[in-house]
Structure formats: C-alpha cells, structure tokens
C-alpha cells in the first residue's frame, strides 16, 4: 500500500502521517515513512529524535543518476533499487518501521 | 529530489507513507502514479475546506486513484456537520473525522510521538480506524499499485 498525506501547513498532516505509519508497523507490516516536507518534522511524530534523522542532501552521488527528460529538463533519479536505498539511508525507528527524510528547504536545490 | 521520491514510491515493496510538502504543487506525476491513496487533511473552517477542495481537483488531474479527505481537529458536532455538509456538496469523500485532541498539543510540546504520549487518545483511535479502513478498502498490496 502506498499512501500519501497532503494538506495545508498546520492542518496536522505530519501527525497523521507519522501515526498512521506507526499503526501499520504495529499491525505487522513493513513500513517506510518518507518525509518530503521542506520543514521536516516527521521524525518526531514517528518517534525518533530529529537529530537522528539525517536528510538525504548529503548522499553519495553514485546512489543517484541524472536523467534528462524529453523536454530537456534534468532530474536526479535512483541509481539503485528502492529497497536497497531505503535499507541504506533509512533510519530504523522501531521494529518494521524505517524513516527516510528527503531533505531540508528546497530539497538540496535539486528539484 | 522529485525523481528520487517517485522512484522510492514506485520501487518500495513495503507499505509506504509519504508526508508531502504542504500544498500539492510539488507533487509530480511520477510520484502520483504510484500512490494508491492520497489523504488530504483539512480543518473544519471554510478556508481550509476550500484549500482541500482545490487539492482534490489537482489530485484528479494528476490521476491519483483514490483521494479522500481527513477532517482534522473537529471540536463539536456542529464542526462535524459543517465538514460533512461541505464535503457532500463538493463531492469530497471523507476517510475519517479526527477529533480535536489535547494529546496532540501535549505530544508536540514534549517533542514526543503522539502514539507514545497518548496511545489511547481519541485522535490515535481515529487514526487506527483509518488504518483499518485503508487495509480493508485495499490500497492494493504494496508493489502492485492498482490503477
């Protein structure tokens, strides 16, 4: 299952996303919680110290590769399987739950 | 990092929960394609509901399978009525109503996970029911994002 939680800042989306991830994990599912907010706070609501959850800004370049779209725009994409990437860069929160924090403001400027 | 998020959501074989950037403007088609369910969190006042309604329209354009609203911080039966009335009028299916809950405020103040601070709090109970609903109404099993 792939669930995304959106909404206006302050509406409570982070609390709901983090708690939902915890509940799925409690019920025996393997879960990755991904923080895509530029003001990353998901760590706290899944229950790890914010400082323990480094962002992906500093990941080794060989994990990513640049792809050029037909319209000429360039994007970074994964150069390794998603599961390997999550295992390597995710922060273990507790049994069956891993946290991945995409980045701080502007996501490292790489769109 | 948008391409990276899309690749993670597409390729993860485990259950995936993404806390999106506020507003859906940054959500790419590449990511949207692999999301089974988008939950849009709104509060029971007009401006918030209007924002939620715009997000629904955008999500439809992006072709996300299932889009549902979470009515959050609902304090009174009147709040709930007004959310339900707005949602019905604008054709926004409601996934769950989460009551306003002091436990959320207290957990925030202490920098704690809500589920640890108030495991039996009303808001957590509502999110547990939501999790049940999501499993039942089958988000497709992870890795087989249904279309």
Ramachandran region, residue A28 (left: φ > 0; alpha: ψ -120 to 50; beta: rest): left
Q: Is the pLDDT of residue B143 over 60?
A: no
pLDDT for position B30 = 81
- A13-17, A88-92, B61-65: range with highest mean pLDDT: A13-17
Residue of A nearest to B3 (CA): A77
Q: What is the CA radius of gyration of chain A?
A: 15
Q: What is the mean pLDDT of chain B?
A: 90
The answer to the question of residue A65 being in a domain is yes
Residue B77 C-alpha, separation from nearest chain A C-alpha, in angstroms: 19
- Which chain A positions have a beta carbon within 8 Å of B14's beta carbon? 29-32, 83, 86, 98
Longest Cα separation, chain A: 44
Longest Cα separation, chain B: 43
Q: Is the pLDDT of residue A38 over 90?
A: no
Q: How far is CA A83 from the centre of its chain?
A: 12
In terms of residue numbers, what domain contains A38? 13-109
- Which chain A positions have a beta carbon within 8 Å of B13's beta carbon? 82-83
The structure's pTM equals: 0.91
Instruction: Pick from A9, A19, A108 the residue to mutate for testing the B interface (most B CBs within 10 Å).
Output: A19
What are the tens digits of pLDDT across the range B68-121? 999 999 999 999 999 999 999 999 999 999 999 999 999 999 999 999 999 999
Angle at B93 between CA B88 and CA B99, to 5 degrees: 90
Instruction: Pick from B2, B5, B9, B18 the residue to mutate for testing the A interface (most A CBs within 10 Å).
Output: B18
Q: What gap in Å lies between CA A51 and CA A55, rounded to an integer?
A: 10
pLDDT for position A69 = 83
B109 at interface of A, judged by CB pairs closer than 8 A: no
What are the tens digits of pLDDT across the range A3-32? 999 998 889 999 999 999 999 999 999 999
Residues 76-95 on B with a CB inside 8 Å of A are none
pLDDT for position B63 = 87
Q: Is the pLDDT of residue A107 over 70?
A: no
Extended strands (E) in chain B:
15-19, 37-42, 66-74, 94-99
The answer to the question of residue A40 being in a domain is yes
Q: What gap in Å lies between CA A4 and CA A33, rounded to an integer?
A: 10
Q: Cβ separation of A3 and B139 shorter than 8 Å?
A: yes
Angle at B109 between CA B106 and CA B110, to 5 degrees: 90
User: What's the complex ipTM?
Assistant: 0.91
Counting residues of chain B whose pLDDT is more than 90, the rounded percentage is: 76
Q: What gap in Å lies between CA B146 and CA B123, rounded to an integer?
A: 29
Residues 6-65 on B with a CB inside 8 Å of A are 6-24, 26-27, 31, 34-43, 48, 51-52, 55, 59, 64
Q: Cβ separation of A102 and B4 shorter than 8 Å?
A: yes
Say which of B1, B39, B145 has its CB closest to residue A5: B39
pLDDT for position B2 = 75
Q: What gap in Å lies between CA B21 and CA A91, rounded to an integer?
A: 20
Q: What gap in Å lies between CA B127 and CA A37, rounded to an integer?
A: 20
pLDDT for position B146 = 39
More confident residue, B144 or B6: B6
B97 at interface of A, judged by CB pairs closer than 8 A: no
The answer to the question of residue A48 being in a domain is yes
Instruction: Report the number of distinct structural domains present in chain A.
Output: 1
Q: Is the pLDDT of residue A83 over 90?
A: yes
Domains of chain B, each with CATH number or no CATH: 35-100 (3.40.50.300)
- Strands B15-19 and A31-35, sheet pairing: parallel
The answer to the question of residue A3 being in a domain is no
What mean pLDDT comes out for the span B8-31?
Answer: 90
Q: Provide DSSP, chain A.
A: -EEEEEE-TTSSHHHHHHHHHHHHHHTT--EEEEE--SS--HHHHHTS-GGGS-BGGG--GGGEEEEE-TTS-EEEEESS-HHHHHHHHPEEEETTEEEEE--SGGGGG--
Angle at B69 between CA B76 and CA B125, to 5 degrees: 60
């Amino acid at each position: 299952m792939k669930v995304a939680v959106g909404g206006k800042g302050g509406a409570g989306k982070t609390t709901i996303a983090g708690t939902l991830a915890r509940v799925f994990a409690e019920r025996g599912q393997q879960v990755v919680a991904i923080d895509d907010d530029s003001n990353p706070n998901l760590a706290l609501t899944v229950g790890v110290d914010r400082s323990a959850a480094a962002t992906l800004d500093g990941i080794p370049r060989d994990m990513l590769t640049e792809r050029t779209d037909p319209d000429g725009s360039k994007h970074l994409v994964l150069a390794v399987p998603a599961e390997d990437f999550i295992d390597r860069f995710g922060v273990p929160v507790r049994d069956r739950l891993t946290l991945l924090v995409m980045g701080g403001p502007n996501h490292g400027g790489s769109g | 990092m948008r391409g990276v998020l899309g690749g993670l959501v597409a390729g993860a074989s485990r259950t995936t929960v993404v806390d999106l950037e506020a507003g859906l403007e940054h959500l790419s088609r590449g990511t949207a394609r692999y999301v089974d369910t988008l939950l849009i969190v709104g509060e029971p006042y007009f401006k918030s509901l209007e924002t939620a309604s715009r997000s629904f329209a955008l999500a439809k354009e992006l072709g996300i399978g299932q889009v549902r609203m979470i009515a959050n911080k609902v304090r009174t039966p009147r709040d709930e009525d007004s959310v339900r009335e707005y949602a019905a009028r604008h054709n926004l299916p409601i996934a769950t109503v989460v009551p306003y809950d002091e436990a959320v405020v207290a957990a925030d103040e202490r920098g704690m996970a809500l589920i640890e601070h108030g495991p039996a709090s009303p808001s957590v109970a509502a999110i547990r029911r939501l999790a049940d609903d999501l499993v039942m109404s089958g988000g497709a099993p992870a890795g087989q994002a249904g279309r």
